């Protein structure tokens, strides 16, 4: 158990640094690594992907709180936009968990692989949406929140890779888009984690120390180190070549995506 916890402390540290460096949630790193590590631990192939997604969402509940507080101190969170977004997000995340639960582990890995490859291409080439001509309505925000929450619950992420481009497209400044996206990560993670506890309760193939689909040793290790190491990532972001680092991480995501797609499609 100590060796297992140490592994997840290292993973949490890496996820925290990645989040601080690139301004994206650690879920993009946590989910693939958890899938591989759960496989090495002998967890059932039918549940390990669901457990990786659920555990990632549970860690985001904790890590997003400190992120939201930091952004709110700077007055960067657009709370009026957050409210309708959050309503849609919670509904979408609830449906997203049940969508993932209906998928076989292999099919869920294919979906994650496609998403990781898309993000890798976006990061490698710096693709960004142009600002739109209209500010979003409350109904539009709620609808977008539903899609963001649904997808985020399936992929085990805090939604930043989806929320930030959407808000930027809707004429929100990058600083405020990142801050508001950080706030949106909390309802995504809370609804996703709670629903995964329900859907995974009593599921065959899950190891000891599981709460529904959430694997507690991984959750504890990642939470302890990720929040501390996010500060290191932020510091490095101001001293290391950002474009090169993004291309390196994009390459990592592309390799992970290729591994998931090739192993499950052929």
Give the residue with greater pLDDT, 80 vs 171.
80
Mean pLDDT estimate for the chain: 88
Shortest CA distance to 144 belongs to which of 214, 84, 100? 84
Per-residue DSSP letters for 173-201? -HHHHHHHHHHHHHHHHHHHHHHHHHHHT
Place of tokens 């649904």: 150
With cut-offs at 50, 70 and 90, classify the pLDDT of residue 144: very high
Tell me, what's the pLDDT at 146?
A: 97
Q: Are 47 and 210 in contact (CB under 8 A)?
A: no
Name beta bridge partners: 215.
Answer: 210
Phi-psi region of 44 (alpha: psi -120 to 50; beta: other; left: phi over 0): beta
Q: Where are the beta strands (DSSP E) in the chain?
A: 210-211, 214-215
Name beta bridge partners: 214.
Answer: 211
Give the residue with greater pLDDT, 151 vs 124.
151
CA distance 186 to 225: 19
Give the residue with greater pLDDT, 244 vs 168.
168
Tell me, what's the pLDDT at 234?
A: 67
CA distance 15 to 25: 8
Give the chain's length. 266
| pLDDT tens digit sequence for 226-241 | 878 877 876 776 677 7
Q: Are 261 and 112 in contact (CB under 8 A)?
A: no
């Amino acid at each position: 158990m100590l060796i297992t916890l140490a592994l997840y402390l290292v993973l949490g540290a890496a996820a925290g640094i990645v989040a601080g460096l690139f301004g994206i949630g650690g879920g993009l790193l946590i989910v693939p690594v958890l899938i591989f590590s759960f496989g090495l631990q002998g967890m059932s192939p039918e549940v390990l992907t669901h457990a990786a997604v659920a555990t990632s969402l549970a860690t985001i509940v904790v890590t997003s709180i400190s992120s939201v507080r930091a952004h709110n101190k700077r007055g960067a969170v657009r709370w009026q936009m957050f409210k309708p977004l959050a309503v849609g997000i919670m509904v979408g995340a609830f449906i997203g968990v049940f969508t993932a639960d209906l998928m076989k582990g292999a099919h869920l890995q294919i979906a994650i692989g496609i998403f990781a490859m898309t993000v890798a291409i976006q990061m490698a080439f710096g693709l960004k949406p142009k600002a739109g001509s209209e500010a979003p309505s409350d109904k539009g925000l709620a609808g977008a929140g539903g899609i963001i929450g649904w997808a985020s619950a399936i992929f085990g992420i805090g939604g930043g890779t989806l929320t930030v481009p959407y808000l930027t497209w809707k004429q929100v400044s990058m600083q405020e888009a990142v801050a508001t996206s950080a706030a949106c990560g909390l309802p995504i993670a809370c609804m996703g984690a709670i629903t995964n506890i329900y859907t995974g309760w009593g599921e065959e193939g899950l190891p000891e120390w599981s709460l529904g689909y959430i694997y507690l040793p991984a959750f504890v290790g990642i939470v302890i180190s990720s929040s501390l190491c996010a500060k290191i990532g932020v510091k490095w972001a101001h001293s290391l070549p950002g474009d090169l680092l993004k291309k390196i991480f994009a390459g990592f995501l592309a390799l992970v995506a290729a591994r998931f797609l090739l192993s499950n499609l052929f």
